[in-house]
Amino acid sequence: MQPAIKGFPPYGISVVVKFGGSLMRDLEACRAALAELERLGRRGHRILIVPGGGIPDKAIEAVDATHPLAPFTAHHACALAQDQTAYMLSDPALSSDLVACSTLGQCRFRLREGKIPVLLPSQILFALDPVEWSWDVTSDAVAAWIAWLTNTPKLAILTDVDGVYRNASTGDPTALIAESSADELGRLGHTSIDACAAHFMSQHGLSGVVLNGAHPHRLGDWLEGKQVTGTRITSTPHIISAPQTALGAA
């Protein structure tokens, strides 16, 4: 986290967590993962959640598979799908400390209250239009961009597998890549982290981890510097730094 510049206070986020929509297939496991995030928040970790598209996104993909949608339609519908997932994750049915936030200013305010903001990304994405309108760009890349935009030092991708596997061999524990540079992951193409996110992390000096959200304690262990089952992503610091911005001021 970069030091504050006079007149531009930091957002104060310690970790951006991309919460994969795949984790909503088992709602009890989803609740357990969210409960762990709440526990970490109460222990002082300042978490910002960027949701995946989840169930709504799958419906959009199903339509596109048989009746290909225009890039404009697919992009905007998928961004709104992330919003819908955010609302569900922050509902009392699944969590107690999570709050859906449409601006970064709201996120900052909720963090000060001791809550965990869940970003509704569509408003920021529509206003700034930072990513290509393509199926190649997923919520992983959006989470990486948000981490860079807010000068957050850590990015965790929570998904439904243990990490990134060689040749996509998710059933073979020996194929799990324990550590890789972001650049190397980008060259692998789309895995359990999309290639656009990996390339972005490489270019902007972001590091992080891909973890299985079904084992939520691994996130806390990683934040404490312990060895965990997952894929640690390293990146060489780059001269491109995130802008200090008043975007989303409350």
* Separation between Cα atoms, residue 229 and residue 36, nearest integer Å: 17
pLDDT at 248: 40
Kindly give, in sequence order, each residue whose CB lies less than 8 Å from that of residue 236, ignoring residues fewer than 6 positions away: 181, 202, 205
pLDDT at 249: 37
7 in any annotated domain: no
Q: pLDDT exceeding 90 applies to what percent of the chain? A: 85
239 in any annotated domain: no
**Structural domains in the chain (count):** 1
Beta carbons of 14 and 154 less than 8 angstroms apart: yes
* Structure confidence by residue, pLDDT tens digits, 156-186: 999 999 999 998 888 899 999 999 999 999 9
Q: How many CA atoms lie within 13 A of 81 on its CB side?
A: 20
Token pair belonging to 10: 């930091």
Q: Mean pLDDT across the stretch 118-139?
A: 96
pLDDT at 245: 43
Residue 112 maps to which CATH number?
3.40.1160.10
pLDDT at 96: 97
Mean pLDDT across the chain: 92
* Structure confidence by residue, pLDDT tens digits, 12-62: 999 999 999 999 999 999 999 999 999 999 999 999 999 999 999 999 999
Residue 88 belongs to domain spanning? 15-234
* Separation between Cα atoms, residue 134 and residue 138, nearest integer Å: 8
Question: Is 237 a residue whose pLDDT tops 70?
Answer: no
240 in any annotated domain: no
User: In this predicted model, which residue has the larger pLDDT, 69 or 243?
Assistant: 69
169 in any annotated domain: yes
242 in any annotated domain: no
100 in any annotated domain: yes
* Separation between Cα atoms, residue 171 and residue 187, nearest integer Å: 22
3 in any annotated domain: no
pTM: 0.91
Q: pLDDT exceeding 70 applies to what percent of the chain? A: 93
82 in any annotated domain: yes
Q: Mean pLDDT across the stretch 208-223?
A: 96
Question: Collapsing DSSP states into helix, strand and coil, what is residue 74?
Answer: helix
